[in-house]
Structure 1
């Protein structure tokens, strides 16, 4: 079988995915130890490794591509990911875009806090964006924090990032120039695609009957975390702009809403 035939057949098996062809290309590139870009440039010169069939079977069972390849690109960095951690989404890059706009024309944030850091996604992207920054990532999951520490080391950011188990901002008495948070925000009775519901950690997804449980807790803590001139960027679900923002405004915080590239509400921009 030629690589083109293998990609075509794999994409057909991935009909459940909106990115079936891309999924197939990423898996073949992974099997060959190449970047996707290099694969596409040299496709007719390649072969189909035996390992590709196993990758295709796993994806056909709706296992996320990122868990199969063990990596996910986000902003300017590549992150190690695996079972037990939330896979970074491109929509979450909106939070970094908001921060870049907020600090435009300045040296950038000196101190960064990432609440619910997962594999270090937002914190490490911010530290890569601003080489003078240092930061802290908090998560309730030891598995996620293990990935975060490994990612910090792999990216050469281990001396600027520290991670700890925590319950959101409980026990933190320091103010930060930039606070980032991507809390769970899915309603407890929501029906998710199998590749999310069956594989990704429920604790990083669900947040009570209305999906707002964790926003209530973060809103109560946030005013004591933002340094003068600082900003908090909090991810929200596409239908939660008004309801989530109201929780923060009720705490005396100023809130605006930033939309993502799909023109959906995605980020609360919070200042003191």
Structure 2
């Protein structure tokens, strides 16, 4: 563990932390060191700039040293801190949930465009909800909507419910343990539909590629939330078939997918009768999400 002596000035501690994180595999040691320092000491960027020589007390020094050691060993910053912000909202993380990433905001942006305003209270469904970040972000920007999140992992649902309570959205969100959309499809055997929007960021990494991912991903994200089967497309057919049954006519299914899966995912959706309705690129310019509607 890197030792930070109590009484060390902020600027000196920041330099030491940055040096300790300047190792292969850490993309931005300066940023990581700054985030961990501010969290460990409870200071913000303004306080750090105003008084860079302010001494660090013993508790903060020990905390920072432990965190820097964990980061140097490959653990992601936000896993260390136990939360990550997504669309301006703070989400608690656990070992059973994916870390929300900025690229997934493309899915939310596209979904919000598809959820057109109307006079009814809209019903959203998030398949594979994990931490609940997608569903709760949508609800935070759709005050007239109620959402349901499903996940096969009970522990992930515990985290999602806690996030909903922390964000003041628990009265507009429900979370159930389920294998994708199975219980909803069983509840609407006649294909009458009922949801105004379905979203999903399913596992889409081919099984053989997981070991080669960055260690921040392969070593800390739950593999069940990454592994999309041999071709990375395993969940998409069942999700699309269910959407044709449980979406109301004219409503949209919005899916995130891998950088090279655009055509394959579109083909799966259109093969069951869904109609392509638009796409969205992520912050890196990669086409990351597509929307499909159930015909009227």
Task: State whether TM-score is above 0.5.
Answer: yes
SS of residue in 1 equivalent to 2:235: helix
User: Could you say which residue in structure 2 is the equivalent of 1:81?
Assistant: 93
Larger radius of gyration: 2
Residue 123 (structure 1) shift = 0.6
CA-based RMSD of the aligned residues comes to: 2.0
Q: Distance in 2 between matches of 1:43 and 1:271?
A: 55
Residue 107 (structure 1) shift = 6.7
Which of 20, 23, 31 is the matching residue for 1:22?
31
SS of residue in 1 equivalent to 2:84: strand
Q: Does structure 2 retain, via aligned residues, the 8 Å contact 1:109–1:177?
A: no
**Does 1:231 find its partner at 2:240?**
no
User: Could you say which residue in structure 1 is the equivalent of 2:224?
Assistant: 203
Q: Does structure 1 retain, via aligned residues, the 8 Å contact 2:9–2:53?
A: no
Which of 51, 55, 60 is the matching residue for 1:47?
55
Which stretch of the first structure deviates more once superposed, 173-182 or 199-208?
173-182
**Does 1:31 find its partner at 2:61?**
no
Q: Does structure 1 retain, via aligned residues, the 8 Å contact 2:102–2:283?
A: no
Which of 12, 15, 37 is the matching residue for 1:5?
12
Q: TM-score, normalised by structure 2?
A: 0.85
Q: Distance in 1 between matches of 2:255 and 2:101?
A: 14
Q: Does structure 2 retain, via aligned residues, the 8 Å contact 1:76–1:128?
A: no
User: Could you say which residue in structure 2 is the equivalent of 1:56?
Assistant: 68
User: Could you say which residue in structure 2 is the equivalent of 1:193?
Assistant: 214
Q: Does structure 2 retain, via aligned residues, the 8 Å contact 1:91–1:260?
A: yes
Residue 10 (structure 1) shift = 2.4
User: Could you say which residue in structure 1 is the equivalent of 2:200?
Assistant: 181
Which stretch of the first structure deviates more once superposed, 106-115 or 197-206?
106-115
User: Could you say which residue in structure 1 is the equivalent of 2:3?
Assistant: none
Alignment CA distance shift 1:56-1:268 (3 Å): same
Q: Distance in 2 between matches of 1:251 and 1:179?
A: 16
Q: Distance in 2 between matches of 1:75 and 1:177?
A: 22
Count how many residue pairs are aligned between Structure 1 and Structure 2: 271
Matches within 5 A, 1:118-129: 118-129=130-141
Which of 265, 275, 279 is the matching residue for 1:257?
279
Which stretch of the first structure deviates more once superposed, 221-230 or 235-244?
221-230
User: Could you say which residue in structure 2 is the equivalent of 1:216?
Assistant: 237
Q: TM-score, normalised by structure 1?
A: 0.92
Which stretch of the first structure deviates more once superposed, 219-228 or 66-75?
219-228
Q: Distance in 2 between matches of 1:45 and 1:132?
A: 49
Residue 144 (structure 1) shift = 0.8
In structure 2, list runs of 5 or more residues that go unmatched: 1-7
Matches within 5 A, 1:54-133: 54-103=66-115, 110-133=122-145
Residue 25 (structure 1) shift = 1.6
Q: Distance in 2 between matches of 1:89 and 1:237?
A: 14
Q: Distance in 1 between matches of 2:117 and 2:51?
A: 44
Residue 6 (structure 1) shift = 2.5
Q: Does structure 2 retain, via aligned residues, the 8 Å contact 1:120–1:148?
A: yes
Q: Does structure 1 retain, via aligned residues, the 8 Å contact 2:10–2:48?
A: no
Residue 257 (structure 1) shift = 3.0
Q: Does structure 2 retain, via aligned residues, the 8 Å contact 1:137–1:163?
A: yes
Q: Distance in 2 between matches of 1:234 and 1:155?
A: 24
